[in-house]
């Protein structure tokens, strides 16, 4: 619980009214989850860093989230402050037209991947087509090292501007970035947690029609393979090396099994969907059932890709 003095202190720093006791379900693609003590939409980087420092100083738990498209929020909610990044942390700017063939851009962590891709297409910049149809923000994509069709966002990043209580605002150059499969290894250790503020990305100057065609093709393939109407968080489990989680789940006969309102999608077995009434508890129970059965049948230990809050 955050007492009134601390609430007043936070509100003094925040430029927008803070939402106290705010239900998080609408901030996630699953549409599941209880309330956070506070939800703050920050409008600028300085404001975010000041608020994070305030929380750290007063031992208030916090979490920065993006569009909540890879997030399962507990039914009990989150005891602490959730930060979402507003428009002031979502700009895209050209920082260097290095050669006729490449351009370097700087993107705020709150920018949606869809907006970024649209911006690139309009200017005929190639390199991010693989993100077509991946929902979420750039910050979330960095933390998840989001990827598709053999490409990952980590490969596109030249440098990141990040904030942590221990180091303040730092610029991390490419050679110091450590991305793995659906993980950004620089984010956390026991003493600190890093927040993504900005990313510099180099793109190739290309042909608009070719770029558009590639995006259309990726989107078409995605639409054919993924559930269309239900709420979900994308692939629930990471693919084990050399195999696919969806194939293993299907081979275990788990397609369409359900737990309360949560169901293994009949369209793609690696999608757990909220059929309308799912709780976080339902999803977690279903996750356990899937992991246990797959382990028993194939010996593979599935690892969730979705982050739990
Ligand atoms: C229909 C659908 C399809 C999808 N397809 C794909 C796909 O093809 N490939 C793929 O990789 N993913 C896919 N996803 C998953 C998801 O869209 C990506 O992982 C996306 O990059 C997450 O971004 P987000 O902004 O929603 O992050 P969130 O879900 O909000 O957050 C993810 C994690 O990052 C942290 N975080 C978010 N922003 C910041 C920040 N600025 N600083 C520090 N921490 C932060 C959060 O606390 C959380 O731990 C899909 C999801 C859906 C619903």
Indicate which atom in ligand 1 lies nearest the CA of residue 141.
21
List of domains in the chain: 4-88 (3.30.43.10), 90-225 (3.30.465.10), 231-308 (3.90.78.10)
The ligand 1 site (C-beta within 6 Å) comprises 29, 63-71, 109, 134-137, 139-141, 143-144, 146-148, 195-196, 226, 232-234, 307
How far is the C-alpha of 278 from the C-alpha of 13, rounded, in Å?
A: 36
Q: Which of 266, 258, 260, 294 is nearest to 280 (CA)?
A: 260
How far is the C-alpha of 252 from the C-alpha of 285, rounded, in Å?
A: 17
Q: What is the pLDDT tens value at each position of the chain, 309 positions in all?
A: 799 999 999 999 999 999 999 999 999 999 999 999 999 999 999 999 999 999 999 999 999 999 999 999 999 999 999 999 988 999 999 997 767 789 999 999 999 999 999 999 999 999 999 999 999 999 999 999 999 999 999 999 999 999 998 899 999 999 999 999 999 998 877 667 899 999 999 999 999 999 999 999 999 999 888 888 789 999 999 999 999 999 999 999 999 999 999 999 999 999 999 999 999 999 999 999 999 999 999 999 999 999 999
Predicted local distance difference test score (pLDDT) of residue 227: 84
How would you classify residue 33: left for phi > 0, otherwise alpha for psi between -120 and 50, otherwise beta? left
How far, in Å, is the centroid of ligand 1 from the Cα of 182?
10
How far, in Å, is the centroid of ligand 1 from the Cα of 107?
16
Q: How far is CA 86 from CA 20, 81, 91, 153, 197, in A?
A: 17, 15, 10, 21, 12
Does the predicted TM-score (pTM) go above 0.85?
yes
Predicted local distance difference test score (pLDDT) of residue 18: 98
Indicate which atom in ligand 1 lies nearest the CA of residue 152.
11
Q: Which of 45, 67, 182, 194 is catalytic?
A: 182
Residue 60 and residue 101 in contact, taking contact as beta carbons nearer than 8 Å? no
Residue 161 and residue 155 in contact, taking contact as beta carbons nearer than 8 Å? no
Predicted local distance difference test score (pLDDT) of residue 190: 62
How far is the C-alpha of 235 from the C-alpha of 31, rounded, in Å?
A: 16
Indicate which atom in ligand 1 lies nearest the CA of residue 135.
17
How far is the C-alpha of 91 from the C-alpha of 247, rounded, in Å?
A: 39
Write the residue with the smallest CA distance to atom 12 of ligand 1: 146
How far, in Å, is the centroid of ligand 1 from the Cα of 135?
7
Q: Which of 41, 47, 152, 305 is catalytic?
A: 305
- Whether residue 235 lies in the annotated active site: yes
Residue 28 and residue 233 in contact, taking contact as beta carbons nearer than 8 Å? yes
């Amino acid at each position: 619980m955050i007492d009134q003095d601390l609430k007043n202190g936070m509100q003094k720093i925040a430029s927008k009214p803070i939402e106290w006791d705010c239900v998080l379900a609408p901030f996630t693609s699953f549409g599941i989850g209880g309330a956070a003590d506070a939800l703050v939409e920050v409008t600028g980087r300085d404001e975010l860093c000041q608020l994070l420092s305030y929380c750290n100083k007063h031992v208030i738990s916090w979490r920065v989230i993006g569009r909540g498209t890879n997030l399962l929020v507990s039914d009990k909610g989150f005891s602490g402050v959730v930060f979402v990044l507003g428009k002031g942390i979502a700009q895209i700017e050209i920082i260097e037209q290095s050669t006729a063939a490449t351009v370097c851009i700087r993107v705020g962590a709150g920018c949606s991947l869809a907006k970024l891709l649209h911006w690139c297409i309009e200017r005929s910049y190639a390199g991010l087509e693989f993100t077509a149809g991946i929902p979420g923000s750039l910050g979330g994509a960095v933390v998840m090292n989001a990827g598709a069709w053999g490409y990952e966002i980590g490969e596109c990043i030249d440098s990141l501007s990040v904030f942590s209580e221990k180091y303040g605002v730092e610029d991390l150059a490419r050679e110091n970035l450590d991305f793995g499969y659906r993980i950004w290894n620089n984010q956390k250790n026991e003493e600190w947690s890093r927040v993504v503020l900005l990313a510099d990305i180099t793109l190739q100057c290309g042909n608009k029609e070719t770029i558009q065609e590639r995006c259309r093709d990726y989107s078409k393939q995605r639409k054919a393979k993924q559930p269309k109407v239900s709420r979900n968080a994308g692939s629930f489990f990471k693919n084990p090396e050399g195999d696919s989680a969806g194939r293993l789940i299907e081979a275990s006969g788990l397609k369409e099994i359900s737990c309360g309102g949560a169901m293994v999608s009949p369209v793609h077995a690696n999608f757990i969907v909220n059929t309308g009434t799912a709780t976080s508890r339902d999803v977690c129970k279903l996750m356990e059932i899937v992991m246990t059965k797959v382990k028993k049948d194939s010996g593979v230990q599935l690892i969730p890709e979705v982050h739990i809050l």
